[in-house]
Amino acid sequence: MACGSTSLWAGEATWFCCGSSWGPCSSTGTGACGTCQSSAHQAAWPNASAACFSITRPDLCGESIPRRGCGAVMTVKHQCSGSSVCVTVSDCGPRTKSFCGEATCCNGTCRTNRVIDLTPAAFSAIGNLSSGMLPVYIYE
């Protein structure tokens, strides 16, 4: 898996559970792509497919997020610490429309709207799970 450095998006990252139990997660489903595992560096993207987009509706928050489907690889970089993790899209989410205008800030700069969900393994590679949300840059 080769992670890129071309800027794709910026916003908030949250975490979610999928696949086999790991850390704070009990065993759940394997996501829209059928491959999601909480212990892997994976992510949910709100425009992974047309069906996904109709649920997450980031456009209702003013986000014109590009389509990146199952298996797409992205680098997610924590805006505050500079830590990054390489993830593979394995699910649909987050439900951006439910959190329009929500903001997470650091160093005087804020990122708005939930635009990527990370598995606990991926989230904990760049931040503390107890923080719940991180302002991030996303690259492909």
Q: How many domains would you assign to the chain? A: 1
CATH number for position 90:
2.40.40.10
**Residue pLDDT, tens place only, 55-108:** 999 999 999 999 999 999 999 999 999 999 999 999 999 999 999 999 999 888
**Overall pTM > 0.85:** yes
Q: Percent helix, strand and coil across the chain, each rounded to 5?
A: 20, 35, 45
Among the listed residues 130, 133, 134, 140, the one whose alpha carbon sits nearest the alpha carbon of residue 24: 130
Report the percentage of the chain scoring pLDDT > 70. Answer: 99
Domain carrying residue 64: 7-139
Task: Tell me the pLDDT band of 1, cut-offs 50, 70 and 90.
Answer: low
Residues 42 and 13 sit within 8 Å (Cβ to Cβ): no
User: What gap in Å lies between CA 115 and CA 125, rounded to an integer?
Assistant: 18
Burial tier of 66 (Cβ tally within 10 Å: 0-12, 13-18, 19+):
exposed
